[in-house]
């Protein structure tokens, strides 16, 4: 029986450099496996110029100086750079800085799975049509590759720097070799009982082809001693992140799961000599398509698409710095990747897994946030419906709790006078109260219609589960309109009252998800306004019965939203040309639609003052003479994810304010069902205008976009989010 060794995972420990180990460079033979084919030859691009990490500026998002549009992919990466700045900002507690770094890593994972994968697909399809910024897909890919290599290194450095800070405060990662004898013995027992049974060692040889590597899987490339004079055998061990926690607590120390596995590889490969183990991670294309019109059963089609998503083409390979070049080439060839798609990192790979450490240290995190509980009446004295007959209720989450929305639905489910509940569901989460309210309503004999969007990316499986549970309870489950995603957030309650039926409505900017309602800033309107109730009824009849709909108050995409918004901007242009005060104030997550951008350029040329709060991607170039000199763009980040969409217009001294679910992107205005509602209550209208003004004055987390496409950090410490939280608890 051969000897065994237990090597450290080379190039992986977040704090301790790997111990130098004498290893022969492996030249793993391609003849030992069934290969996926050679990597295509692709031209190298000179790395982009590096900016100082703490300069208070991002790189330029201008890819084509002659274009009126900024590059969408660079703009997204600039957004992630702004999040990364929060990971480096020492005003944030260290556990929160690590969370920001993890969010950056998670964001970049999705960027590769969807956006980069989409560019690859365009190139493979031979697309030669430039984007709005004038770039071809190949040119965009070259820019993205240069930026993402540097960004991954910056994310890694920010995480390691924060881990150093945490170590000084007693939250310390350790290598297995640095643990005491007793701790190592206890860890071995834990490994044998809780970890090894989950592992599957896969050796590559003529009878065992190279294994399929699933998306975002963290793996160990294990080299095993072969016969004398032969090259090492290659084996792959998948690190079961998700099944088991990535970070393992050993007393007061923390260790990475891959380190635990590497330290006990001798137990997994008994009788073999383990030479070395190297971490690597694979990202695949997850942006699948299917033909809805040809699908007899949409639910079954989505499930099939989820299975196919696992087998998308690889778009990125991350490896530890210590992995020998021949082994990198071996993996690259089998994954059919270009050299530019290989990312060498110091580690730990997969920063997103560090989102929540198994550490309870309130002194190292943000103080707990307690949402205010709005007064929505006493259920025994008439409850929420009595309140809504008297006044509208506008909630600003997470400063106002999501409890009010849940109460609305739960009271409707239990109220014997309620005849019907209709609701759209996009990203629901797993909160039992929401599902329980709809199931209870159906079981109580009410007409319950749940319009569930099965195509909500990465939430499809959960939505399928909800659909089946609601169908079993007797609800009518509808999967939306063919060719469109139903992204609007609306609920309708029909109640029998003295004098006839009355409609109660909820319209929101965020999902019906209590978990994200604690983390995202969103708006909820609860109202019994007859006009809004009639419009929402029209909407549901259109979605479930394809009936023609006429809306008096709502702007609904893809039918009326684009034309309605352009008309509101055009009205401001007319007012400006007539010498009246004219302005537009918009708060969205993303602004990429060329038509809306051109409408704003026309407004600027006419003298309309335009203030845009765009948290993420912005393809509009502000401050360009003759084009956009009257437009300013801010981006606000903070403890909570800014998610509300608000649209305000001067209207010659009589401001109008709208809010809703739609960003100003082509997909939202043309290929999704979105709902935008006017704020009809003057008090609530003024409140949202003050909200916009407060956020515009923010300096703690705000950046301004200039004509060069660069985001500059605004100086100061005033925090709009802190002001909103303090106002709720003081008032």
Tell me which residues are annotated as active site: 487
Preceding omega of 398 cis (within 30 degrees of 0): yes
Alpha-carbon distances, residue 629 vs 138, 323, 547, 597, 601 (angstroms): 32, 51, 44, 14, 9
Q: Of 141, 145, 115, which is closest to residue 286 (Cα–Cα)?
A: 115
Q: What is the phi/psi pair of residue 53, to 5°?
A: -65, -30
Instruction: Provide CB contacts within 8 A for 42, sequence distance 6+.
Output: 338, 339, 340
Pairing of strands 274-284, 201-204: unpaired
DSSP H helical ranges for 342-422 = 383-390, 403-414
Q: Report the distance separating Cα 457 and Cα 511, nearest Å.
A: 14
Which residue matches tokens 């290599």? Answer: 149
CA distance 393 to 372: 14
DSSP line for 553-611 = S-EEETTTHHHHHHHHHHHHHHHHHTT---EEEEEES-B--HHHHHHHHHHHHTT-EEE
- DSSP string over 432-489: HHHHHHHHHHHHTT-EEEEEE-TTSTT-HHHHHHHHHHHHHHT-EEE---TT-EE--E
Whether the CB-CB separation of 309 and 286 falls below 8 Å is answered with yes
Please state, as a whole number, how many other Cβ atoms lie within 10 Å of the Cβ of residue 432. Answer: 9
Which pairing describes strands 583-588 and 489-497: parallel, antiparallel, or unpaired? unpaired
SS3 category, 44 = coil
Sign of the dihedral through C-alpha 128, 129, 130, 131: negative
């Amino acid at each position: 029986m051969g000897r065994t060794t237990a090597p450290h995972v080379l190039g992986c420990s977040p704090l301790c450099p790997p111990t130098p180990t004498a290893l022969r460079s492996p030249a793993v033979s391609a003849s030992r496996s069934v290969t996926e084919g050679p990597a295509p030859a692709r031209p190298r691009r000179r790395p982009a110029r590096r900016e100082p990490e703490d300069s208070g500026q991002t790189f330029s998002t201008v890819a084509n100086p002659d274009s009126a549009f900024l590059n969408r992919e660079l703009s997204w990466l600039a957004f992630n750079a702004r999040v990364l700045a929060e990971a480096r900002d020492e005003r944030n507690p260290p556990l929160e800085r690590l969370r920001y770094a993890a969010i950056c890593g998670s964001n970049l994972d999705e960027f590769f799975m969807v956006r980069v994968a989409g560019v690859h697909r365009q190139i493979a399809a031979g697309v030669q049509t430039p984007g709005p910024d004038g770039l071809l897909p190949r040119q965009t890919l070259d820019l993205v590759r240069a930026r993402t290599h540097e960004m991954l290194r910056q994310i890694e450095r920010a995480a390691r720097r924060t881990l150093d800070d945490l170590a000084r405060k007693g939250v310390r990662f350790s290598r297995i070799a640095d643990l005491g004898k007793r701790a190592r013995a206890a860890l071995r027992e834990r490994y044998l009982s809780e970890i090894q049974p989950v592992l599957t060692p896969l050796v590559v040889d003529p009878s065992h082809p190279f294994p399929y590597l699933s998306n975002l899987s963290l793996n160990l490339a294990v080299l095993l001693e072969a016969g004398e004079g032969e090259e090492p055998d290659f084996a792959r061990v998948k690190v079961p992140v998700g099944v088991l926690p990535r970070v393992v607590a050993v007393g007061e120390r923390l260790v990475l799961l891959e380190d635990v596995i590497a330290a006990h590889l001798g137990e997994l490969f008994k009788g073999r000599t383990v030479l070395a183990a190297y971490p690597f991670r694979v990202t695949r294309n997850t942006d699948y398509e299917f033909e809805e019109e040809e699908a007899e059963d949409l639910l079954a089609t989505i499930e099939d698409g989820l299975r196919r998503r696992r087998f998308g083409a690889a778009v990125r390979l991350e490896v530890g710095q210590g992995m020998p070049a021949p082994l990198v080439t071996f993996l690259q060839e089998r994954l059919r990747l270009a050299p530019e798609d290989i990312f060498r990192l110091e580690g730990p790979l997969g920063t997103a897994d560090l989102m929540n450490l198994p550490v309870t240290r309130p002194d190292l995190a943000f103080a707990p946030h307690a949402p205010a509980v709005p007064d929505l009446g006493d259920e025994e004295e008439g409850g929420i419906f009595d309140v809504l007959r008297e006044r509208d209720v506008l909630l600003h989450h997470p400063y106002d709790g999501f409890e009010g929305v849940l109460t609305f639905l739960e009271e409707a489910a239990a109220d014997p006078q309620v005849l019907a509940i209709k609701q759209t569901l996009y990203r629901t989460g797993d909160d039992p109260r929401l599902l329980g309210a709809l199931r209870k309503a159906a079981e109580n004999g009410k007409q319950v219609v749940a319009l569930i969007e099965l195509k909500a990316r990465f939430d499809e499986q959960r939505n399928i589960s909800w659909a089946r549970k609601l169908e079993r309870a007797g609800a009518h489950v509808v999967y939306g309109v063919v060719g469109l995603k139903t992204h609007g957030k609306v609920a309708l309650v029909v109640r029998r009252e003295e004098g006839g039926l009355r409609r109660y409505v909820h319209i929101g900017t965020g999902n019906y998800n209590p978990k994200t309602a604690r983390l995202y800033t969103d708006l909820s309107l609860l109202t019994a306004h007859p006009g809004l109730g009639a419009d929402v009824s029209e909407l549901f009849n259109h979605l479930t019965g394809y009936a023609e709909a006429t809306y008096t108050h709502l702007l609904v995409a893809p039918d009326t939203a684009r034309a309605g918004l352009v008309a509101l901007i055009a009205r401001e242009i007319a007012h400006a040309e007539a010498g009246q005060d004219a302005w537009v104030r918009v708060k969205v997550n993303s602004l990429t639609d060329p038509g809306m951008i051109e409408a704003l350029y026309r407004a600027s040329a006419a003298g309309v003052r335009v203030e845009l709060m765009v948290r993420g991607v912005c393809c509009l170039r502000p401050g360009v003479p003759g084009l956009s000199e009257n437009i300013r763009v801010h981006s606000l980040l903070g403890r909570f994810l800014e998610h509300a969409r608000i649209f305000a217009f001067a209207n010659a001294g009589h401001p109008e304010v709208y809010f809703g679910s739609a960003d100003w992107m082509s997909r939202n205005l043309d290929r999704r069902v979105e709902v935008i509602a006017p704020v009809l209550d003057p008090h609530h209208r003024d409140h949202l205008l003050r909200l916009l003004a407060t956020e515009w004055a923010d300096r703690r987390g705000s950046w301004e976009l200039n004509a060069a496409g660069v985001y500059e950090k605004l100086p100061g410490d005033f925090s709009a989010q802190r002001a909103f939280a303090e106002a709720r608890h003081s008032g």
